[in-house]
Amino acid sequence: MYNAKQIAEFFLARYGSTGSITPMKLIKLVYIAYGWYLGLTGSKLFQENPEAWKYGPVIPTIYKEFKAFRNAPIMWINNAEYTTGDETTDSFLDRIWSVYGSYTGTQLSAKTHMPGTPWFKAWNDVKNHNKVSLQMDHQEIERHYRQLAAGDVNQ
């Protein structure tokens, strides 16, 4: 299992030199990778749980690490050879980029805000019932991405 920062660094090292990765986009990509990995394998890609924040699912450590960039692109030295150390994981993350990399952070945020998504369910539950925890249920995330894989829902 990885930590969330390793996954973020993978995207930045391989694709960050294009100047297209803002903190919001990075956070959403890491979350989407987490969701797809969980939905396809039943295992977590990294231990940290995503949280439901106003603007979508957030990985707190990634937010804290890159918030200084605000809305600006995160400039990163390109290293297309960067690896997680596992060819299968690298291929999986490259596939996430090939599907979602052309979207902006705002577009990815809109995808994660759609009705029925894990964030939508968590955020609306909190908002309507004043619950304290904004932790997203990993079982709900897994269920959602399994349904996506089966073609039962859209994202």
Q: What is the pTM of this model?
A: 0.91
Other Cβ atoms closer than 10 A to 138: 15
42 inside domain: yes
155 inside domain: no
Tell me how many domains the chain contains.
Answer: 1
Question: So what's the pLDDT on residue 118?
Answer: 94
pLDDT tens, per residue, the chain with 155 residues:
899 999 999 999 988 877 789 999 999 999 999 999 999 999 999 999 999 988 889 999 999 999 999 888 887 776 667 888 999 999 999 999 999 999 999 999 999 999 999 999 888 876 655 554 588 999 999 999 999 998 866 66
Q: Residue 35 belongs to what domain range?
A: 4-150
Question: So what's the pLDDT on residue 53?
Answer: 87
Phi, psi values for residue 137, rounded to 5°: -75, 120
69 inside domain: yes
